[in-house]
């Protein structure tokens, strides 16, 4: 594999103060050949004014234009802000936007409470577009179980029969004083996102000693199959473990026969993609030293990930004062650092002819932009066929 070219999806330098931090990018490929990248934009990461923005590319990711769509951060009369968003083309020409909105009606409350280890109340919202993202319908809320607060983990999975799956993770509610397990979930829809089945639990440690955070998924070779990768944190040892992986199907009964295994890859969030030649790619953020965005590859279905086959796409010099990366980082420290990191959040999308497009955010604590990189994987195959 080798890096062909790189650039910026959205350059935050020179923007007004309220548009200097662009983070949490997500990629979508449309049937027309266009690419869309959505991201959070604001004065600070996860700030109370954080909004959604979108850019479009018609030349495989080389150049990008900002779309005019703007979204009110008030929902149902309540002030809030957006974090993650993801777009999927449910039928040719019709786009579904799924977005994670957080209730910030109390301006004194941060996203995460270090005392209760809970997070703000959230809602999962959807809207539709028929003009490739230039304009959108009014927000509608997607019902989620009432037992936890949910955050989204894009992208959405789509299979050739129209089935889609929206990945989420649950946390404690902000005011909840009782222990609450966290887990990775899927909301599955068979009608283009209009209705969703009951959530499927993808990963949770049976004794809640390990957190499986920030799941990222890609479709597998069979009907309803997927490959999930997790930022894996040992709460007892207070440290990150290697990235973990699970292969399963939405039709499995509780994924009982699908083990969660360690990949040996150091890092946190890992975005997978299965190529038609059988190789499994993983674009991974590693906030150790050196801090990198690295594209890993496995030729045996995710069993082994040779360092010699990995490609360092970007190396970062972190200027924030962090606790993460030390020998021990407890749960509250990790959440504190999430608000400080000035690079990360990998996304990956196939381009055809053996190329993939990668996006991530990077910059300084007061100015972060959305970056792109195009990698030649050494194969002329596009990606795994949609089952």
pLDDT at 324 > cutoff 60: no
Q: Which residues does 221 contact at the CB level (< 8 Å), separation at least 6?
A: 274, 384, 385, 387
pLDDT at 342 > cutoff 50: yes
Q: Which residues pair with 158 in a beta bridge?
A: 164
Q: Which residues does 110 contact at the CB level (< 8 Å), separation at least 6?
A: none
What pLDDT shows up at residue 321? 66
Instruction: State whether residue 146 is helix, strand or coil.
Output: coil
Q: Which residues does 326 contact at the CB level (< 8 Å), separation at least 6?
A: none
| Structure token pair of residue 302 | 């995710």
Q: Are the beta carbons of 263 and 305 closer than 8 angstroms?
A: yes
Task: Give me the sheet containing 140-142, strands edge to edge.
Answer: 80-91, 94-103, 122-129, 140-142
User: Between 3.40.50.720, 3.40.47.10, 2.120.10.10, 3.90.1150.10, what CATH number should domain 2-376 receive?
Assistant: 2.120.10.10
Pairing of strands 164-173, 118-119: parallel
pLDDT at 380 > cutoff 60: no
Q: What is the pTM of this model?
A: 0.94
pLDDT level of residue 340 (50, 70, 90 thresholds): confident
Helices (H), the chain: 331-338
Cα dihedral 75, 79, 84, 85, rounded to 10, equals 30
- For 115, counting Cβ atoms within 10 Å of its Cβ (0-12 exposed, 13-18 middle, 19+ buried), the class is exposed
pLDDT at 387 > cutoff 50: no
Cα dihedral 131, 132, 136, 142, rounded to 10, equals 130
**pLDDT tens, position by position, 203-219:** 999 888 999 999 999 99
77 to 28, 47, 104: CA distances (angstroms): 30, 19, 11
CA 134, 135, 139, 145 dihedral sign is negative
Which is higher by pLDDT, 182 or 125?
125
**pLDDT tens, position by position, 225-250:** 999 999 999 988 989 999 999 999 99
Instruction: State whether residue 241 is helix, strand or coil.
Output: coil
Q: Are the beta carbons of 342 and 324 closer than 8 angstroms?
A: no
* Closest CA relative to residue 338, chosen from 29, 112, 109: 112
Q: In residues, how long is the chain? A: 387
**pLDDT tens, position by position, 28-74:** 999 999 999 999 999 999 988 899 999 999 999 999 999 999 999 99
Q: What percent of the chain has pLDDT over 70?
A: 94
290: preceding bond cis by omega (within 30 degrees): yes
- 322: number of CA atoms within 13 Å, CB side? 24
CA distance 266 to 105: 38
pLDDT level of residue 261 (50, 70, 90 thresholds): very high
| Structure token pair of residue 30 | 């449309």
CA distance 332 to 330: 6
Number of C-beta neighbours around residue 4 at 10 A? 10
The full set of domain ranges for the chain reads 2-376
C-alpha 238: how far from chain center: 23
pLDDT level of residue 339 (50, 70, 90 thresholds): confident
pLDDT at 383 > cutoff 60: no
């Amino acid at each position: 594999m080798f890096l062909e070219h790189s650039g910026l999806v959205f350059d935050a330098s020179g923007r007004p103060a309220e548009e200097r931090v662009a983070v949490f990018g997500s990629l979508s490929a449309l049937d027309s050949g266009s690419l869309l990248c959505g991201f959070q934009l604001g004065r600070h990461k996860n700030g109370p004014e954080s909004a959604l923005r979108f850019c479009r590319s018609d030349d495989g990711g080389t150049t990008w234009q900002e779309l005019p769509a703007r979204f009110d951060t008030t929902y149902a009369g309540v002030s809030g802000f957006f974090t993650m968003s993801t777009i999927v083309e449910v039928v040719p020409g019709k786009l579904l936007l799924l977005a994670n909105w957080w209730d910030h009606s109390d301006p004194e409350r941060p996203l995460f409470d270090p005392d209760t280890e809970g997070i703000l109340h959230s809602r999962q919202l959807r809207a539709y577009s028929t003009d490739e993202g230039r304009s959108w319908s009014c927000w509608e809320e997607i019902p989620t179980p009432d037992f936890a607060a949910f955050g989204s983990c894009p992208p959405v999975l789509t299979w050739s029969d129209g089935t889609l799956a929206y990945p989420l993770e649950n946390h404690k509610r902000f005011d909840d004083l009782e222990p609450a397990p966290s887990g990775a979930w899927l909301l599955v829809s068979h009608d283009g996102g209009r209705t969703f089945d009951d959530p499927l639990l993808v990963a949770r440690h049976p004794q809640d000693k390990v957190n499986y955070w920030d799941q990222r998924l890609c479709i597998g070779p069979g009907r309803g199959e997927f490959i999930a990768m997790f930022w894996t944190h040992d709460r007892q040892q207070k440290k990150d473990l290697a990235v973990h992986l699970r292969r399963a199907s939405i039709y499995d009964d509780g994924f009982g026969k699908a083990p969660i295994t360690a990949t040996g890859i150091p890092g946190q969030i890992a975005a997978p993609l299965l190529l038609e030649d059988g190789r499994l790619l993983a674009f991974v953020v590693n906030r150790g030293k050196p801090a990198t965005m690295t594209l890993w590859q496995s030729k045996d279905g995710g069993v082994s990930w040779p360092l010699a086959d990995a490609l360092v796409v970007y190396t970062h010099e972190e200027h924030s004062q962090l606790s993460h990366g030390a020998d021990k980082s407890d749960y509250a420290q990790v959440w504190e650092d999430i608000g400080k990191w000035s690079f990360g959040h990998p996304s990956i999308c196939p381009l055809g002819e053996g190329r993939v497009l990668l996006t991530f955010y990077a910059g300084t604590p007061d100015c972060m932009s959305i970056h792109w990189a195009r990698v030649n994987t050494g194969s002329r195959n596009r990606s795994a066929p949609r089952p």
